[in-house]
Amino acid sequence: MKQAYRGFWCSMAMGMALTAAAQQQSIVWHFDEEAGAAVHDSSGDVDDPIHGYFLRVPGVSGQALSFDGYTTSIERPAKAVPDVGESFTISAWVALDDYPWNWAPLVDRELDDQVGYVLEIDAFGHPGFGIDVNGVWQHLTSTVQLPLKKWSRVTATFDPEQGVTLYVNGSEAGTLKTSGPFFSADNASLIVGRVRTPTLPFPSWLIHPHDPVNYSIEGYLDEISIQPGARSAADEAAAFQSAHVTKDDVIPYAVMPSGPSGPGPFGAFYATLHFKPSWDHLRRFGPNSNVVVRFEQSPMRLAFWEGLNYMPAWVTENGKWYNEQSVETWDEPYCSMGAQDCEPMSDKQDRSSRVSIIESTPARAVVKWRYSLIEARGYAEANPDPDTGWGDWVEERWIVYPDGVAIRKQTLWHSGPVTAEEYEWQETIILHNPGKHPEDDIEPDALTLANMQGQVHTYSWIPKVTTSFDYPRGPKKLDQPINANIQLVNLKSHYKPFEIVNPAGGLTWHVYGGERSYSMFEWWNHWPVAQIGSSGRPAMAADRPSHTSLSDIYWGDYETTDHIETKILMTGLTDQGPDHLLKLAKSWLSPATASATGAGVSSINYDPTQRAWVVSRTAGSQKAPIQVTLDASESSPLVNPVIVVQDWQGTAKVAVAGHPEANAMLKVANETVLEGQNLVIWCPLEDTSRVQIRIEPAEK
């Protein structure tokens, strides 16, 4: 343990009436009420109000109270708090769902860490006790770490001759020798479970922005008592043993939701996704506010979940989450409130972030995600235009196909001339469920890069042998192979995320490794899910949803004007290696030569934003057979080609010559637009030779 002296208090200067206790009365909360927003003090026969969100849950004995981590507290006015006496004992049973953002009180009657007392828990789960002894604030922090999800009994005793003793589960967990009387904070209310004033998250020297936040204990509290007299070690051990508490977890680990498990009908679906009651109640969203894309041949999915601020995340067959972040800018003058980062990650209440389904058919799904670049401080938008008030806004259109491949088209509207360095468009992020460390989700050989010449290089991070808080030992740069434009992210899963970008127009990579971490990778938990106003907070433990960043890709624009930039990339999940991704990249970046014949056909062109050959037809043309020829080669292979026929009303019969297996698995669907209907055909085949596809009306 360690002791800290947090300041000196002078009673004359403060002008407070500090008294050695004249009346000694206990406070005992059993939390066994069946309903209502109050808890009953069985010793003083007082009902104390519960503030914020709470649930009644099974306790150590009878009921307990669930605190939500942000709003829940119990508070008794100062005048109604009895004196505890010259010596006293405070006990509480606690089951932590998460460790607090910083010191969080179990029982608090202090002012400014100068007078009174507080029994509390720090950001690592260590119990501590602070007290004013003879005008000097003193603090004892135990080295015992409380477990997550399980019941623990925490007790602090004070005696003017012996000092402070902490107990955890009936055993001594620290002592602090002091001598002198306890000074009470008579003007302070008694608070259970929540910080008295907004507090900087720990470690305050590393977080950004440097803003204090309100928070509470997240977990269960039961059987809290404040009683005169310092309980002996023997009596405390007996009190713990008499409880007969289970050693099992009493709080389950929450799992980030992505819809039903297993394969399902391909398509995009609006969904209601629950995380856990203590988080869900904070949200002001109705049913079907999220979008999930499912796949028929695989249990993977693509989730647009509000807990990620709708940032799209690929979810593997075994529940590993992968995200490519968003467009982002940073620092002043772009982020005018000084919160350092402007991104939808900071839009904690999803005030601007929105997701909608544009199209969902058996052949493809199209999902639109729209957001502004938001600061964590004040929900301010980046780069506000002085004339119109518009800040930076982005629309992303994700065109997703049944093979788990998507085209991500990002369009940024900004307020003035910018350079590429002022925005980040992609970030390789792995999300971790509660209970999971980065090492549980990511292979040490974490990244594989490849180029269009087939050269491949894998980058490794060195595992830690201690739990030290220091810099990851990974690659210093990502410069091999030359002109790499393909990335494979090596998660501990069968299906692995990938990205492909166009190397034309310039391409650079950035690797993450410049921030301290308790993992072999960089590791933060200010996002996802967290509701504190923060855009940077290192994870202290695997208690909350968290994330790791590995790399950034900087590549050229697809289109640009003075105030609009557009970029595209190919992304998805694959169970194959770099050789297959090279073939996929060639099929997209150097597509096969195509021709189309038939009544009304005017042209056929490849659209990389759709990963599709688009057949244009003269408006009002009668439906008649169309022949599409794709002249593939080793340098321009076919990998699950897509054909879009414009102005095609009704259904169609499609046949791929010489490919009976592809014909059996073709996905053909009509896409309804304002002007009429288009036909979308997804062909599950790979070839490096000429392929002919016949399209004809299904109706006779």
Residues 291, 392 contacting (CB under 8 angstroms): no
Give me the percent of the chain exceeding a pLDDT of 70: 96
Instruction: Please give the residue that has the higher pLDDT: either 77 or 20.
Output: 77
Q: Which residues pair with 370 in a beta bridge?
A: 354, 395
Alpha-carbon gap, residue 511 to 502, rounded angstroms: 19
Q: Where are the alpha helices (DSSP H) in 320-442?
A: 438-441
3-state secondary structure of 607: strand
User: The domain 2-241 is classified under which CATH number: 2.60.40.10, 2.60.120.200, 1.10.238.10, 1.10.357.10?
Assistant: 2.60.120.200
Alpha-carbon gap, residue 692 to 658, rounded angstroms: 9
- CATH 2.60.40 residue ranges in the chain? 590-697
End-to-end CA distance of the chain: 85
- CATH 2.60.120.200 residue ranges in the chain? 2-241
State residue 336's pLDDT score.
80
State residue 621's pLDDT score.
77
3-state secondary structure of 661: helix
CA 646 to chain centre: 40
Residues 405, 314 contacting (CB under 8 angstroms): no
Mean pLDDT for the stretch of residues 86-111: 98
675 pLDDT band (50/70/90 cuts)? confident
Q: Tell me how many degrees the CA angle 629-631-636 measures, rounded to the nearest 5.
A: 135
Q: Tell me how many degrees the CA angle 99-105-106 measures, rounded to the nearest 5.
A: 90
Using the structure block, give the residue that is written with the tokens 């054909």. 643
State residue 22's pLDDT score.
38
pLDDT in tens, 300-310: 999 999 999 99
334 pLDDT band (50/70/90 cuts)? confident
12 pLDDT band (50/70/90 cuts)? very low
Residues 9, 115 contacting (CB under 8 angstroms): yes
State residue 418's pLDDT score.
59
State residue 4's pLDDT score.
35
Position 6 pLDDT exceeds 50: no
- CATH 2.70.98 residue ranges in the chain? 267-574
How buried is residue 29: exposed, middle or buried, by Cβ count under 10 Å (0-12/13-18/19+)? buried
State residue 505's pLDDT score.
84
State residue 700's pLDDT score.
57
Tokens standing for residue 446? 């974490």
How buried is residue 506: exposed, middle or buried, by Cβ count under 10 Å (0-12/13-18/19+)? exposed
Query: Which fold, 267-574?
Result: Beta-galactosidase; Chain A, domain 5 (2.70.98)
Position 571 pLDDT exceeds 80: yes
pLDDT in tens, 357-385: 999 999 999 999 999 999 999 899 999 99
Alpha-carbon gap, residue 311 to 557, rounded angstroms: 21
State residue 158's pLDDT score.
98
Q: Tell me how many degrees the CA angle 395-396-397 measures, rounded to the nearest 5.
A: 120
CA distances from 548 to 123, 345, 425, 487 (A): 20, 14, 17, 16
State residue 419's pLDDT score.
59
pLDDT in tens, 486-533: 999 999 999 999 999 999 988 999 999 999 999 999 999 999 999 999
Position 36 pLDDT exceeds 50: yes
Position 242 pLDDT exceeds 60: yes
Please name the CATH architecture into which domain 590-697 falls.
Answer: Sandwich (2.60)
Position 13 pLDDT exceeds 70: no
472 pLDDT band (50/70/90 cuts)? very high
1 pLDDT band (50/70/90 cuts)? very low
State which amino acid sits at residue 401: Y
- DSSP for 229-294 reads S---HHHHHHHHHTT---SS-SSPPP----SSSS---SEEEEE-----HHHHTT----TT-EEEEE
Alpha-carbon gap, residue 579 to 585, rounded angstroms: 10
For the full predicted model, state whether its pTM sits above 0.85.
yes
Rg (CA), the chain: 30
Q: Of 181, 680, 161, which is closest to residue 400 (Cα–Cα)? A: 680
pLDDT in tens, 148-186: 999 999 999 999 999 999 999 999 999 999 999 999 999
